[in-house]
Structures are given as structure tokens and as C-alpha cells.
Amino acid sequence: MRKDDILRFLMRSRTGHVSGGDLAKKLNVSRTAVWKHIKTLKQKGYSIEAIPSKGYRLLSVPDVILPDDVRKGLKTSVIGRKLHLLPETVSTNTLAASMAREGAVEGTVVIAEFQTGGKGRLGRTWTSPPGNLYLSVVLRPDIPPYKAPLITLMGAVAVASSIREQLKLRVGIKWPNDIYFAGKKMGGILTEMSAEPDRVHHVVLGIGIDVNMELKELPLEVRRMSTTLAVETCGKIDRTALLRQVLSELDRWYAKFLENESSVLTEWRKLDITLGSSVSVAFGPGNVMEGIADDLDQEGRLVLRLKDGALRTVAAGDVTILKR
């Protein structure tokens, strides 16, 4: 009996039950071997009904991302040239950065089912239980380091467009790269770069999207400001299909970015929920500035109009939308 034989039989007869005796006969094994295999499948997350008089029936398959499923129909030219799928890792960004240092090709993607030390912006932790998407992409753009923040904006454009396209959910972007829906956060992007003063070695573009996890998995202090795609669409999301969409949008937007950076800024503005709002920007404890989010500059920095009319350009900070 091959490893997946029983699973294949159960998949084929999903509408009815298959008796243990039949499975044993077809696969030329004992009924105990069948039973043991069913037990293993259940431990892996397959939901299998067992009715003594009828046999076994497959009810649902676990929500896992399989490399072959991701590759199926993936038509990207750069992003996903190499795909590494891991059950768990500390941080896909950390792993992708070490692969990049060892010469990983541009477009290498690292995906994990969950992270034990997920990193967020501004030194925060990114809580990363199973059920969501966690991925990092190695990029080697031939750009000066001061343009790297545009890659973060490019990532946010790709993620927001993917969700809009795949799930028909009109998510928006809060500066610089938070994915928002109905006033709550459901995704973020962390870009880490290795560079010399005038040359980028590599950029790791890390993406986290809250997809199917239960909100109770998040720490209380972030829970009330967060949501997931499953909550907002009232159903479990096919993570593989969404991942494929994110990879193709990244491929498309990265090519556009290399050709003409301003196309990213134009699209970012269309998806943005920050500009025109009254906002506060926190740079650290006790260091907060308030104003109207006036515009983005050519490098993706936020231009704030203060109460006295003065303009301030902000490169990094934590934006809270006070009034739209």
C-alpha cells in the first residue's frame, strides 16, 4: 500500500462511505492496517466519519499549503522561481535574509504555516498562529537604497489588489503598508534591506495576511483593532488560491516598479485610506505629531500638513486615522 492510497480512495468516494473491508481488499492489506492509516490521517487534520455499518467517509481535508498546489497554474516570471514551504519557522523574513546572503536567486519565496518569532514593523512582534499567510520574497533590484521604501508600497499594492481580485473585498492601505478593512487591520508588510550607501544587495519583502485564524489567537491589545479575511467574508478562505494570486500580483507590480516607479505611487493612491484624513503619527512614546495626511512624496514618504499650515515629511511612524 502506498502512503496516499487510502486517501485517494476516500477522495474519490466523497459522497458515500467506503467500508474498511473494501479498502483492505482493494489495497491488499489488513483491516487493522486500514484503521491505523485512517487514525494517522485524522491526526493530520483530515476529518473522516466512521460508521460501523457503512465504513469511512472523508468530510474535509486539512487547510495546508502544498508546493505542487501553489505551482499549479502559477504564471509568474520572477516571483516564485524557487518556493520553500515550511511547516514552521522563527520568521520567514529572517530565513529569507539568510538565504539571500547565501546567494538565493531573485524571486525566492519562503512560506511558513506558522512563525514562532514573527516580526512586525517598528520592532513589534507579529503574532503568527496557523491558518494565515506568512511569506517573504527575496528581491535584488538595481536601485539606490533611498528608493527601497517604494518596494514596501509596491508590496502593499500587490496584496490589496490580490484580496480585491480574489475575494471581492474592498480592502484599503493605511500608510505605509497596513492592509485595512472597515477600520481594522488584516495584514502588514515588513521590508528589510541589506545595502551599501549607494547600492542595494537585496531586499526581503515580508508579507503577513490574517486569513483563517480565530481572532482570539491575537493578544488582547491588538485584537480589537484587527480582523481576518474569514471574518469579513463569513467563510473559510482557500489560502493556496490567495497565495497564488499574491505571487502573481507581486510579479506584475515588481515588473511595473522596475520599469516606472511612479506607476506604483499612482496605484497606491487609488487604494489608500490615509490621504485627506486627520491623523496622528507616533514616532515613539510621547513623540506624536498631528495633522492632515496631505500627500505622498516621490519616495513614498507621508507629507503632513500641521495645524499652522507647515508641511512635514515623515519617513516612518505609526499612523492613527483620527477623522476621515
Give the footprint of ligand BTN on this chain (CB under 6 A). Answer: 91-93, 115, 118-121, 124, 126, 134-136, 178, 188-190, 206-208
> Which one, 20 or 187, has the nearer CB to ligand BTN?
187
Number of H helices, E strands in the chain: 10, 14
Contact call for residues 191 and 203 (beta carbons, < 8 A) = yes
- Give the shortest CB-306-to-ligand BTN separation in angstroms: 26
Closer residue to ligand BTN in complex, CB, 14/82:
82
Instruction: Give the residue carrying C-alpha cell 472523508.
Output: 58
Dihedral of CA 19/20/21/26: which sign?
positive
Cβ-based nearer residue to ligand BTN, 117 or 144: 117
Name residue, grid cell 485517494.
8
Min dist CB 134 to ligand BTN, Å, is: 4
Smallest distance from ligand BTN to CB 303, Å: 21
User: d(Cα 120, Cα 87) in Å, to the nearest integer?
Assistant: 20
| Residue whose CB is nearest to ligand BTN in the complex, by number | 188
Provide Rg for the chain, Cα atoms.
23
Cβ nearer to ligand BTN, comparing 93 with 161 = 93
Choose among 81, 108, 301: nearest CA to 206: 108
> Alpha carbon of 70 to those of 59, 85, 162: distances in Å?
23, 10, 15
Taking the complex as a whole, the smallest distance from the CB of residue 200 to ligand BTN amounts, in Å, to 19
The minimum distance between CB 121 and ligand BTN, in angstroms, equals 4
Give whichever of 207 and 293 is closer to ligand BTN, judged by the CB atom: 207
Q: How far is the C-alpha of 19 from the C-alpha of 230, rounded, in Å?
A: 35
C-beta of residue 230 within 8 angstroms of C-beta of residue 237: yes
Q: Is 238 helix (H, G, I), strand (E, B) or coil?
A: coil
Residue with Cβ nearer ligand BTN (55 or 107): 107
Q: Nearest distance from residue 166's CB to ligand BTN, in Å?
A: 19
